[in-house]
Amino acid sequence: EIEPDSDFKAKDFCLQAVVYIEKIQKTHRVPIIVGGSNSYIEKLVKDPVFMFKYKYNSCFFSIDVEQSVLNRRVDMRVDQMVKAGLVNEVRQIFIPDADYTKGIGWSIDVPEMDRYLREETNIDGDDESKQIILQASISSIKRNTRMLICNQLEKIQRLISEKMWSVHQIIATDVFEEDREEDIDEAWRNTVLQPRLDIVKRFLKSDHHNIIIECT
């Protein structure tokens, strides 16, 4: 757990990651490193200080979805988050004149909601103005999330094409083109989950691990 106002950089991530990797391996389990920021993963793997490439065999995955489909999914997801109480959640951690270059202030949602949370009390009786500012904030969240996704996709492609990483790319576009949640769940199991489990089983077998993977 990281303090919300801490400046948690890639080096900090790596220092903690190697500790947990060793702890997990001592229990005869396989560590799974999940990237939010690909730059964290890249530093962990490439930085000679951490000796990652020389100490561990790795199996890399990337789940790829066509950009336009991702954009629609982002818009829908943000709308769902707003309905579920996003504004109140950000309001609870909102600090006027906060530093948006580090910690939780760097997260998408927080800077975008700044103007609305500053002005909502000043225009308390003007619901129309409040709604206009709120919608502008929501639009900014959607736009910045789409930009983040685009940057992350470019980073992954750079790791594959320039850094020559061997990455198992799973194409999941069809999954997110389904309309009903139950159809999405089934498509996810068939298109993404099961193929990945099969790859991991082969990897562990070739790496002489005696581990059973259960699909739940």
pLDDT tens-place string over residues 37-47: 788 999 999 99
| Sheet strands (E) in 65-175 | 167-171
**24 within a domain of the structure (yes/no):** no
| pLDDT for the residue numbered 210 | 46
**149 within a domain of the structure (yes/no):** yes
**176 within a domain of the structure (yes/no):** yes
**109 within a domain of the structure (yes/no):** yes
**183 within a domain of the structure (yes/no):** yes
Taking the C-alpha atoms of residue 111 and residue 100, their distance in angstroms, rounded to an integer, is 7
**215 within a domain of the structure (yes/no):** no
- Token duo for residue 19: 């500790």
Taking the C-alpha atoms of residue 143 and residue 145, their distance in angstroms, rounded to an integer, is 5
H or E element, residue 62: strand 60-64
**163 within a domain of the structure (yes/no):** yes
Instruction: Work out the pLDDT band at 125, boundaries 50, 70, 90.
Output: low
Alpha helix (H) residue ranges in 47-106: 52-55, 67-83, 86-93
**40 within a domain of the structure (yes/no):** no
**pLDDT at residue 212 tops 60:** no
Taking the C-alpha atoms of residue 112 and residue 44, their distance in angstroms, rounded to an integer, is 30
Domain interval for residue 77: 59-206
Cβ atoms of 156 and 63 within 8 Å: the answer is no
Question: Into how many domains does the chain fold?
Answer: 1
SS (H, E, C) 16-38: HHHHHHHHHHHCCCCCCCCCCCH
Instruction: Work out the pLDDT band at 211, boundaries 50, 70, 90.
Output: very low
CATH of the domain at 136: 1.10.287.890
- Token duo for residue 59: 């199996």
Q: Which one, of 44, 64, 63, lies nearest residue 54 by Cα?
A: 44
- Token duo for residue 6: 């801490």
Phi then psi dihedrals of residue 166, to 5 deg: -90, 105
How many CB atoms lie under 10 A from the CB of residue 183?
Answer: 12
pTM value is: 0.78
